[in-house]
Structure 1
């Protein structure tokens, strides 16, 4: 299997329920809804974060929140906690992502540097950008555009 990133747009009411009682959303993040309200980046999540921020785990501004940002709501179903990003930050991320194009990310793609930084899943080659990262980035943009247009929050999980 591996570490899979999933994101789901939540209404303010759903987000409030999750914040009060994380057990209220026990189904897998991708269990309900359809794209763009639910997105599965599979194993491309860490590479996308790297391309957006230039960092393995940190970063500046709204782009750093797109994959690894938000309030921790529980310990999660795997090794990482679930993160809940509020509607204001979702809107900021959507705007920031809209300003980034695939061509810009392609210029940042450096398989050697990503391997050196141990960017998961550390299988970076010349084809990975077109087969995994660019499509995943487009899905991520769709999720945030969809969520921002509806004043939604975004729940992120890595399992």
Structure 2
């Protein structure tokens, strides 16, 4: 599985239902190209390793740190299932605390959790294929911080899209 993010205003074209917005945003396969590059972030297959570094768990954790990767409202169960992808919605009021958490937590504070064997034992996707250097995920982590900060500054919601890898 791969994860991509899209940040958008909390209300799109007068639509207030996040599942309806997801259908509008992700109904076409070329949704990435149709949005400004700065509003899209692709984590690829590193999403779960990042979640593990941030929370210490492959799936769970407490907000706001868990909201960075796995947290939010799964819209697939709310009428967006026909998209063929899982879409997770993170409302603007949850984006700001997650952005603040990332801003106050330098990557060096998480680097001790970078243990490929422990991550593989916990079931983290592709943990054994990660580079051996703990700093290898720092560019992705720093990108998450910038992305969440921009969304927070603009009062935006974040949609997370899970797809099968090609």
Which of 79, 86, 93 is the aligned partner of 1:88? 93
Which is higher, the Rg of structure 1 or of structure 2? 2
Higher deviation after alignment, 115-124 or 42-51: 115-124
Alpha carbons of structure 1 residues 55 and 152: separation in structure 2 relative to 1, 3 Å: same
Q: TM-score with structure 2 length normalisation?
A: 0.83
1:16 maps to which residue?
16
Tell me which of 24, 30, 33 is aligned to 2:32: 30
2:161 is equivalent to residue 147 of structure 1: no
Shift of 1:56: 1.0
Measure how far apart 1:18 and its partner are.
4.0
Q: CA RMSD in A?
A: 1.8
Q: Which runs of 5+ in 2 are unaligned?
A: none
CA deviation after TM superposition for structure 1 residue 52, in Å: 0.6
Q: In 1, are the aligned partners of 2:8 and 2:157 still within 8 Å (CA)?
A: yes
Note closer, same or farther for the CA distance 1:87–1:111 as it changes in structure 2 (3 Å cut).
same
Matches within 5 A, 1:2-81: 3-14=1-12, 16=16, 18-20=18-20, 22-25=22-25, 26-28=27-29, 30-31=32-33, 32-35=35-38, 37-74=39-76, 75=81, 76-78=83-85, 81=86
Matches of 1:71 and 1:120 in 2, distance apart?
22
Separation (CA, whole Å) in 1 of partners of 2:120 and 2:141: 19
Please report how far the alpha carbon of residue 105 of structure 1 lies from its aligned counterpart in structure 2 after TM superposition.
Answer: 1.7
- 2:22 and 2:63 mapped to 1: Cα distance? 27
- Structure 2 Cα separation of the partners of residues 115 and 72 of structure 1: 25
Deviates more, 1:14-23 or 1:149-158: 14-23
Q: How many residues align?
A: 152
Determine if the alignment matches structure 1 residue 124 to structure 2 residue 125: no
Confirm or deny: 8 A CA contact 1:147 1:154 kept in the other structure. yes
* Alpha-carbon distance in 1 for matches of 2:108, 2:8: 30
